[in-house]
């Protein structure tokens, strides 16, 4: 410290003073210009070429190249070059040559005379005829992230040799280029993430559009599909034929992800399209199988159950190709499994009948048909235990006196109670022989009214409730209360559930059995946030919340059930009658 006056210049006098050295004067101005040029584009290819052009120009080199690390940092790829020889696409090992040493050692190098450096590879000069005399090389890093390196060849001038100030300038400019490339990569990643996110959203919308629209809770066919992730490889569908019979199907595509989702969409579309004219389930599956065999990729296949149900006679005509055996529950509570008669679709060409895809015809006789994917039976229900077929049958028996939509809700609730991320889709389809059920098993349906989600339709809802209450012998006071409660719930659908939807409709069902009056409101609007529609009592009431409190105050039970199709909202409201007119 001796010999240095207080406040004097303590820097090493041997180091170059960037502020005074003539070769570096204007260095900050050059860096500012370069940063400005790089900031105008976030395209990585444009950024790389523009960065190298500017650096070669600023340092006054005859040629230059920019290498980026790739393939898990195991090799260097020349992404841009300037000079008489184009070496774009040249691949080097990550530690090969002077460039590789700079990258792996994270240090800059200046080789003033390559003829005296043993690391210099003369093969490129020999193949191109270019004469290399001097090399500058600087690594490109952003904090701890290695990006690549920039190599400059031959200083323009008499001797063609670089100097220490040239190396200092290249180090600074390489750092700026590394940051620009890093930012461009991040921008491309964000754009790619947005693109993938949008494609997934479109895939989800497409899959939802393939599911059948929500039907009344007493419709004999009901189903649900809950994807484990964004898109599903499971599907189900049903639609009515002109003669009143109902065509239904459920399938499970092998594998996961977008490939499975695309194959699911194709198979579901084929079912709905072909099913309108082909009324033999075995023949329909044989036709779908032929198409899948011709176009299947990566060994993927589909297990599928397809059938036609006659709600008048209770007859089912069913075909099963490699799927989990559906269950038929008889009214007395016994179950019968229906094994597959053919392998999955998309593996082997199969004809209908004979040794191919067979139909099975049977009557439900007041019973119920349950079709499900392995996401149901293999779903975890706690302590590492799976539901298995036996667990599914137990839940069905526990809720056998309820509508099938309620049974489906009970199964889903059991599978979701662990709170863990599911690893497979949950898909369940139920066909219920309502016409042949023994009396008393299902509450009689008093009224079903489908109305547009518009304010001027609410008078129809209130009048339907009033007439139903009068038929059940309700007092005028109770009738008026129930009209108010159902009117308020219907108004909430019009004002809130469909607020972001141009058109929509809802269905009101009123069911009655001794001592119980039940109201069900079903819509196909986006699912409501159930936490926001819980009653908040008057001491902390918010504007608009009084109607919900009033509904809960009038009714004895208010609950949301899973909508039959898995989309929309199903609100169940129950009133227990003290003096039922039908009890005598």
Lowest mean pLDDT among 92-101, 257-266, 344-353, 388-397: 257-266
CATH number reported for the structural domain that contains residue 567 in this entry? 3.30.565.10
Q: Which secondary structure element, helix H or strand E, spans residue 426, and what is its range?
A: strand 426-432
Is 195 a domain residue?
no
pLDDT digits (tens, 9 = 90+) for 57-106: 888 899 999 999 988 888 999 989 998 888 888 999 988 888 998 998 88
Q: Do 220 and 302 share a domain, yes or no?
A: yes
- 227 pLDDT exceeds 70? yes
Q: Do 105 and 227 share a domain, yes or no?
A: no
pLDDT digits (tens, 9 = 90+) for 160-188: 788 888 888 888 888 888 887 887 778 77
Is 3 a domain residue?
no
**pLDDT in the model for residue 443:** 63
Q: Do 348 and 476 share a domain, yes or no?
A: no
**pLDDT in the model for residue 206:** 66
Q: Do 388 and 495 share a domain, yes or no?
A: no
- 274 pLDDT exceeds 90? yes
Q: Do 54 and 161 share a domain, yes or no?
A: yes
Q: Do 392 and 425 share a domain, yes or no?
A: yes
What's the structural domain count of the chain? 3
520 vs 73, 185, 199, 449, CA distance in Å?
A: 61, 54, 36, 10
**pLDDT in the model for residue 384:** 80
Q: How confident is the model at residue 132 (pLDDT cuts 50, 70, 90)?
A: confident
**pLDDT in the model for residue 520:** 93
CATH number reported for the structural domain that contains residue 51 in this entry? 3.30.450.40
Is 419 a domain residue?
yes
Q: How confident is the model at residue 348 (pLDDT cuts 50, 70, 90)?
A: confident
Asked which of 432, 464, 497 is the last residue of a domain, the reply is: 432
Q: Are 525 and 497 a contacting pair, CB within 8 Å? A: yes
Asked which of 138, 155, 188 is the last residue of a domain, the reply is: 188
Is 581 a domain residue?
no
Is 193 a domain residue?
no
Mean pLDDT computed over every residue of the chain: 82
Q: Are 55 and 173 a contacting pair, CB within 8 Å? A: yes
Lowest mean pLDDT among 267-276, 307-316, 529-538: 529-538
Is 449 a domain residue?
yes
- 9 pLDDT exceeds 50? no
CATH number reported for the structural domain that contains residue 358 in this entry? 3.60.40.10
pLDDT digits (tens, 9 = 90+) for 515-541: 789 999 998 888 888 777 776 655 554
Q: Is 580 left (phi over 0), alpha (psi -120 to 50) or beta?
A: beta
Q: Are 318 and 281 a contacting pair, CB within 8 Å? A: yes
Q: Do 426 and 512 share a domain, yes or no?
A: no
| Structural domain that includes position 146 | 22-188
pLDDT digits (tens, 9 = 90+) for 287-297: 999 999 887 67
pLDDT digits (tens, 9 = 90+) for 209-223: 667 877 776 688 999
Lowest mean pLDDT among 296-310, 424-438, 534-548: 534-548
Q: Do 152 and 228 share a domain, yes or no?
A: no
Region 242-254: what's the mean pLDDT?
A: 92
Best-predicted range by mean pLDDT (165-174, 475-484, 496-505): 475-484
Helix H, strand E, coil C: the string for 327-376 is EEECCCCCEEECCCCECCECCCCCCECCCCECCEEEECCCCEEEEECHHH
Q: How confident is the model at residue 28 (pLDDT cuts 50, 70, 90)?
A: low
The DSSP code for 381 is E
Where would I find the H helices in 417-531? Answer: 458-471, 476-492
Q: Do 407 and 259 share a domain, yes or no?
A: yes
- 248 pLDDT exceeds 50? yes
- 40 pLDDT exceeds 60? no
- 485 pLDDT exceeds 90? yes
Beta partners for 386? Answer: 380
Q: Do 49 and 73 share a domain, yes or no?
A: yes
Q: Do 450 and 422 share a domain, yes or no?
A: no
pLDDT digits (tens, 9 = 90+) for 364-401: 998 999 999 999 999 888 888 899 999 999 999 988 87
Strand, coil or helix: 16: coil
414-415-421 Cα angle (round to 5): 145
- 544 pLDDT exceeds 70? no
- Rounded Cα distance between 164 and 171, Å, is 11
Is 420 a domain residue?
yes
Asked which of 378, 400, 432 is the last residue of a domain, the reply is: 432
Helix H, strand E, coil C: the string for 59-82 is HCEEEEEEEEEECCCCEEEEEEEE
Is 315 a domain residue?
yes
Residue 317: partners with Cβ closer than 8 Å, 6 or more residues away: 280, 281, 307, 308, 359, 360, 361
Q: Do 253 and 314 share a domain, yes or no?
A: yes
């Amino acid at each position: 410290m001796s010999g240095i006056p207080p406040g004097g210049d303590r820097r090493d006098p041997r180091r170059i003073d960037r502020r005074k050295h003539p070769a570096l004067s204007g260095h900050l101005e050059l860096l500012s210009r370069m940063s400005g040029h790089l900031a105008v584009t976030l395209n990585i290819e444009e950024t790389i070429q523009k960065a190298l052009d500017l650096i070669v120009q600023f340092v006054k080199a005859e040629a230059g190249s920019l290498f980026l690390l790739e393939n898990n940092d195991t090799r260097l790829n020349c992404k841009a070059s300037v000079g008489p020889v184009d070496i774009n696409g040249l691949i080097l090992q990550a530690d090969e040559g002077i460039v590789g040493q700079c990258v792996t050692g994270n240090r800059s190098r200046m080789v003033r005379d390559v003829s005296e450096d043993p690391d210099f590879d003369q093969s490129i000069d020999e193949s191109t005829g270019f004469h290399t005399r001097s090399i500058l090389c600087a690594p490109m890093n952003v904090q701890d992230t290695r990006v690549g390196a920039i190599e400059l060849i031959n200083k323009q001038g008499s001797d063609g040799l670089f100097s220490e100030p040239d190396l200092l300038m290249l180090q600074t400019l390489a750092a700026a280029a590394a940051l620009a490339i890093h930012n461009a990569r991040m921008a491309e990643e964000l754009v790619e993430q947005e693109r993938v996110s949008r494609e997934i959203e479109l895939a989800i919308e497409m899959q939802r559009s393939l599911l059948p629209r929500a039907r009344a809770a007493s419709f004999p066919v009901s189903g649900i599909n809950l994807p484990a992730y964004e898109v599903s490889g499971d599907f189900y569908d049903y639609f009515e034929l002109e003669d009143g019979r109902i065509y239904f199907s459920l399938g499970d595509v092998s594998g996961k992800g977008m490939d499975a989702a695309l194959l699911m969409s194709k198979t579901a579309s084929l079912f709905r399209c072909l099913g309108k004219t082909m009324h033999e389930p075995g023949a329909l599956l044989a036709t779908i199988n032929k198409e899948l065999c011709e176009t299947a990729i990566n060994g993927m296949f589909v297990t599928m159950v397809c059938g036609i149900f006659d709600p008048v006679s209770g007859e089912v005509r069913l075909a099963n190709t490699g799927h989990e055996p559906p269950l038929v529950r008889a009214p007395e509570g016994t179950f019968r499994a229906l094994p597959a008669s053919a392998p999955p679709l998309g593996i082997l060409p199969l004809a209908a009948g004979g040794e191919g895809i067979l139909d099975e015809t049977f009557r439900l006789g007041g019973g119920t048909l349950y079709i499900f994917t392995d996401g149901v039976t293999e779903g975890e229900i706690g302590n590492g235990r799976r539901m298995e077929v036996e667990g599914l049958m137990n839940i069905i028996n526990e809720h056998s006196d309820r509508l099938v939509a309620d049974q489906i809700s009970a199964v889903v609730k059991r599978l979701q109670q662990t709170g863990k991320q599911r690893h497979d889709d949950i898909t369940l389809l139920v066909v219920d022989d309502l016409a042949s059920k023994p009396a008393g098993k299902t509450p009689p349906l008093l009224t079903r009214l489908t109305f547009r989600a518009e304010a001027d339709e609410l008078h129809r809802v209130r009048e339907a409730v009033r007439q139903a209450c009068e038929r059940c012998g309700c007092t005028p006071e109770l009738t008026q209360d129930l009209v108010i409660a159902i009117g308020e719930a219907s108004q909430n659908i019009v004002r809130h559930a469909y607020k972001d939807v141009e058109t929509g409709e809802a269905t009101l069902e009123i069911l009655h059995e001794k001592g119980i009056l039940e109201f069900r409101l079903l819509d196909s609007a986006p699912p409501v946030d159930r936490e926001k529609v819980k009653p908040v009592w008057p001491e902390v009431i918010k504007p608009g919340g009084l109607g919900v409190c009033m509904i809960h105050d009038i009714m004895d039970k208010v609950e949301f059930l899973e909508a039959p199709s898995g989309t929309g909202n199903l609100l169940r409201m129950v009133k227990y009658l003290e003096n039922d007119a039908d009890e005598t």
